[in-house]
């Protein structure tokens, strides 16, 4: 039986009520209550998502799209219902435009290996920005090397914002693809996607948006954005790991060659010729992550119960509070001060290495991320080897921020900085 998500206690956003839906938040680490501030790496899972995955494996486990027995029929229905939920969540035009992949990284690689190879040729250009995650850099480097094309990088300013005039100057008739993060995982910067898409389309370039850090923190409407492709990862959206989505406009997906072959992506096979399946199955070779898709559907069900404007306001207030509190600490330098940000606060402390700070915070029960965050060019741009990153989720609180600031002051005492 498909798991039904239990309703919230009320329609208003109540962080205390929400926290009770996430069992791991009751944990203790090194004797301290867990304060989880590493949501940009992965989010925690509500009980509804955990229950949906367990329910599939305990009562409905079967392969999909092939069997006529009842378990297969039920599993197929649950899996396909999740695709419909994603379609609604992103406001895609039709279900056929929603492709299940392992995550945003695989989604980007799919576009690079299919659409990219057909669209980009010798002398052509692919444009990215200086704030991209490695997953939105390396596939385009490889594509340009293979195709004899050029990778162009739009710079960012001291606040971590895209320099629009420089970006605009890079877009020309040779530009075939523009790949850009909706929200920077290292800086929290929100990019002007509508304007980027509009400018790119004026020059005939397609746009792929890395939405891994955006979908959990703002409404995403792919039709309104008019992007050609949009990728997300389920585990950053309070869903399970190993499942993600690529949205693509139907006409583009239909024109693209298959990414992987075998299994459910075929319509018919002879030794002389193979005919590929229709969308979305054309890009989903082999047995999919059925439980992952079901878990992602449950996560979307859960999020749809929430008052999204209230969630966004809550996270914005937390980010403002954390920024103000850290800015008041002597020796703290915030990396990334864009006018429009979401959920990410990166910083360094003079005289202390980020990894040491992260270790000390861990012993206080506080989980943050330290390092280059798979964004080494960003670190180079700001002249630091690494940062400490606080990244927020809908279940974080002001008290957690205050406890973290208190712990950071202890760090300063330890290092006498």
Judge if 357 and 275 occupy the same domain: no
Residue pLDDT, tens place only, 327-347: 999 999 999 999 999 999 999
Q: CATH number for the domain including 354?
A: 3.90.1150.10
pTM of the model: 0.95
Q: Are 149 and 125 in contact (CB under 8 A)?
A: yes
Does residue 16 belong to any structural domain of this protein?
no
pLDDT at 84 over 90: yes
Q: What angle do CA 92, 97, 99 make, to 5 degrees?
A: 120
Q: For residue 12, what pLDDT is reported? A: 63
Same domain flag for 250 and 312 = no
Q: Is residue 29 part of a domain?
A: no
> Please, what is the Cα angle at 303 between 298 and 307, to 5 degrees?
155
11 domain-assigned: no
Cα–Cα distance for residue pair 276/272, rounded to 1 Å: 14
181 vs 167: CA distance, rounded Å: 14
Residue 199 has pLDDT above 90, yes or no: yes
- The beta-strand segments (E) located in 130-172 are 150-154
Are 299 and 235 in contact, with CB atoms under 8 Å apart? no
- pLDDT tens profile 161-174: 999 999 999 999 99
Q: Do residues 85 and 135 both lie within one domain?
A: yes
Dihedral sign for Cα 221, 223, 224, 228, please. Answer: positive
- 260 — pLDDT class (breaks 50, 70, 90): very high
Q: Does residue 87 register a pLDDT over 50?
A: yes
Site of tokens 């309070």: 238
Q: Which pair of tokens denotes residue 300?
A: 């979307």
State the average pLDDT over residues 272-290: 94
When pLDDT is averaged across residues 397-412 and rounded to a whole number, the result is 93
What distance in Å separates the CA atoms of residue 75 and residue 211, rounded to the nearest whole number? 28
pLDDT on residue 4:
43
Paired strand residues for 300: none
Nearest to 39 by CA among 17, 54, 20, 24: 24
Catalytic residues: 374
Q: How far is CA 111 from CA 53, 105, 115, in A?
A: 29, 10, 5
For residues 139 and 159, state if they share a domain. Answer: yes
Q: Are residues 236 and 312 in the same domain?
A: no
Q: Which CATH number do you get for residue 172?
A: 3.40.640.10
Q: How many domains does the chain contain in total?
A: 2
Which domain does 104 fall in, by range?
53-304
């Amino acid at each position: 039986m498909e798991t039904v998500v239990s309703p919230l206690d009320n329609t208003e956003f109540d962080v205390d009520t929400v926290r009770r839906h996430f069992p791991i938040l009751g944990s203790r680490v090194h004797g301290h209550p867990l304060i989880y501030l590493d949501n940009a790496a992965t989010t925690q899972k509500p009980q509804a998502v955990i229950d949906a995955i367990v329910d599939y494996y305990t009562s409905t486990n079967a392969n999909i799209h092939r069997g006529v027995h009842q378990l297969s029929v039920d599993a197929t229905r649950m899996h396909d219902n999740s695709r419909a939920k994603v379609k609604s969540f992103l406001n895609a035009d039709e279900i056929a435009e929603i492709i299940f992949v392992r995550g945003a990284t695989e989604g980007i690689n799919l576009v690079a290996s299919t659409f990219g190879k057909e669209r980009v040729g010798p002398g052509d250009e692919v444009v990215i920005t200086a704030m991209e995650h490695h997953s939105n850099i390396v596939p385009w480097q490889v594509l340009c090397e293979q195709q004899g094309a050029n990778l162009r990088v739009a710079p960012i300013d001291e606040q971590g914002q895209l320099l629009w005039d420089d970006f605009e100057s890079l877009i020309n008739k040779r530009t075939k693809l523009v790949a850009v993060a909706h929200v920077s995982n290292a800086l929290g910067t929100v990019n002007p996607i509508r304007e980027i898409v509009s400018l790119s389309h004026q020059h005939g370039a397609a746009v792929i948006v890395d939405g891994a850090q955006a979908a959990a923190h703002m409404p995403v409407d792919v039709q309104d954005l008019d992007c050609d492709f949009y990728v997300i990862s389920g585990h950053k959206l309070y869903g399970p790991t190993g499942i993600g989505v690529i949205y693509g406009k139907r006409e583009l997906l239909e024109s693209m060659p298959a990414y992987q072959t075998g299994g459910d992506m075929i319509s018919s096979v002879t030794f002389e010729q193979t005919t590929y399946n229709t969308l979305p199955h054309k890009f989903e070779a082999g047995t999919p992550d059925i439980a992952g898709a079901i878990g992602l559907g449950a996560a979307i069900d859960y999020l749809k119960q929430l008052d999204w404007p209230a969630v966004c306001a809550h996270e914005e207030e937390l980010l403002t509070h954390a920024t103000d509190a850290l800015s008041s600490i002597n020796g703290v330098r915030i990396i990334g001060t864009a006018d429009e940000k979401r959920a990410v606060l990166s910083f360094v402390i003079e005289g202390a290495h980020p990894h040491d700070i992260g270790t000390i915070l861990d012993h206080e029960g506080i989980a943050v991320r330290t390092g280059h965050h798979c964004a080494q060019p960003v670190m180079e741009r700001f002249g630091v080897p690494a940062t400490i990153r606080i990244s927020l989720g809908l279940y974080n609180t002001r008290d957690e921020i205050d406890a973290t600031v208190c712990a950071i002051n202890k760090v300063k005492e330890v290092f006498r900085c």
